Amino acid sequence: MFVLELTYTGTTERIDALLPAHVAWLDAHYASGTFLASGRKNPRDGGVILAAGADRAAIEALTRTDPFATEGVCAYRITQFYATKTAPELEPFREQLPVAN
């Protein structure tokens, strides 16, 4: 699982202008089952997305398709973690720790 932290690098006016395209991008990835939760940070200097998946390269590629990223108004920080404990609603996304070699 991944925490995708967006930090705005553009003006609020530019962010607001791109917001409909960003929301459409979010909706597509909710529909595919990749995104589980998202929202603005407070104060409004970016946002956070909780994403399901095990392939970091695929998640990195996905973030590059965000209209905020393609238009250069945000930077992403990606944190991968193992969701070994979840609320019952997120049970399908529970993960096992990798086996040490």
pTM metric for this prediction: 0.94
Q: Is 81 helix (H, G, I), strand (E, B) or coil?
A: coil
CA triple 59-50-69, angle to 5 deg: 50
Give residue 101's pLDDT: 67
Tokens of 9: 């690098």
pLDDT in tens, the chain (101 residues): 999 999 999 999 999 999 999 999 999 999 999 999 999 999 999 999 999 988 999 999 999 999 999 999 999 999 999 999 999 999 999 999 988 76
